[in-house]
Amino acid sequence: MSKKDKKESAKDLETNETSNSNTQVEEVSVEDQLKEELGKEKDKFLRLFAEFENYKKRTSKERVDLFKTASEDVMLAMLPVLDDFERALTHIEDDKEAEELRKGVLLIYNKLLTTLNQKGLEKIEVNAGDVFDADLHEAITQIPAPSDDMKGKIVDVIEKGYKLGEKVIRFPKVVIGQ
């Protein structure tokens, strides 16, 4: 082999090695790009999956809350009827001749109250002498306190308050001592 042939053969070998290394570099860079794209797509998928899970939890919670308070309108409409029954019972107790009428009204009142309680309605207990709390009570008026220990406390309960589950649907209306 002559020097010229050796030079050409070395040149060809060098060219092949360069093209092989370029091919390897290209293969590596294509592989890296594919791995990077795969990583991005996995990340996108995981985020979308997490977002969907959060959506399912949120809608599930909203549905449960809706079922808990779906009867709120009906309960609010029934509260004046309940108040009327209580007023009727108060006036009937004074009349001794209407004992049978009182028993009938009391029976209907108790049945209505039991049914509403089964549906989640609870009475908010407030008594005269309790400390007034603006978050729990609605003050109708203030009157001079009958005694010093009644200042800032509830003197009288005008209208009872009710809760439906954990939500207050009507605050108790009270008179407080000044």
**Tens digits of residue pLDDT in 49-102:** 999 999 999 999 888 877 766 788 888 999 999 999 988 888 888 777 788 888
Identify the pLDDT of residue 25: 57
Dihedral (CA of 67, 81, 111, 89) sign: positive
- Neighbouring C-alpha atoms within 13 Å toward the C-beta of 24: 6
Identify the pLDDT of residue 52: 94
Examine the pLDDT at 20 and tell me if it is beyond 70.
Answer: no
| Average pLDDT over all residues of the chain | 83
Domain-by-domain residue ranges, the chain?
1-70, 71-119, 122-178
What is the rounded radius of gyration, in angstroms, for the C-alpha atoms of the chain? Answer: 40
Residue 129 region, left (φ>0) first, then alpha (ψ -120 to 50), else beta?
left
Residues present in the chain in total: 178
pTM (whole model) above 0.85: no
Identify the pLDDT of residue 93: 81
C-alpha to C-alpha distance for 45 and 39, rounded to whole angstroms:
10
If you average pLDDT over residues 143-163, what whole number do you get? 87
What confidence tier does 160 reach under pLDDT thresholds 50, 70, 90? very high
If you average pLDDT over residues 5-9, what whole number do you get? 57
Q: Which helix (H) or strand (E) holds 158?
A: strand 154-159
Domain 122-178 falls in which CATH fold?
Nucleotide Exchange Factor Grpe; Chain A, domain 2 (2.30.22)
